[in-house]
Amino acid sequence: MKAVFQKAKALWNRLDPMKRTILSTYFWALTGGGAYYLWGTLTGLWLPCTYYTLFHIQCAGCGMSRMFLKLIELDIPAAFAYNPGMFITLILWNVIAVLCFFNILKSKRVLSVIGTVNLVGLLIFGVLRNFA
């Protein structure tokens, strides 16, 4: 068993920092999301949106838990309906992660511009979703 961990560590150390960051992000997102899903499913207790609770206005992230639950059930139209902005963002950043992982997209400037445009888009979405 020790040899397996040593091989895994050696493989991990050979990866460039961008690939390690991408893999670490996916690992922790899946681990945290899985733990939250198990907690919510077993207890029925889901975290409410603090912003909505305080101000009674939907933020850009409202509906994400339900969106992910529908994605787990492979109900894509319902997932999109719960939070279109984050649904599009999820697809966008997964495509970018794959492009970066396989060294197709290397420019940090391009990533910065995409991130800024995405953030502005989510802010606009967060405002407009309360007027529709």
Summarised one tens digit per residue, pLDDT across range 52-101 is 999 999 989 999 999 999 999 999 999 999 999 999 999 999 999 999 99
Residue written as token pair 């040593």 = 6
* Mean pLDDT of all residues belonging to the chain: 91
Cα–Cα distance between 69 and 37 in angstroms, integer? 8
Residue written as token pair 């390690």 = 20
Residue 47 has pLDDT above 80, yes or no: yes
Q: Which amino acid is at 28?
A: W
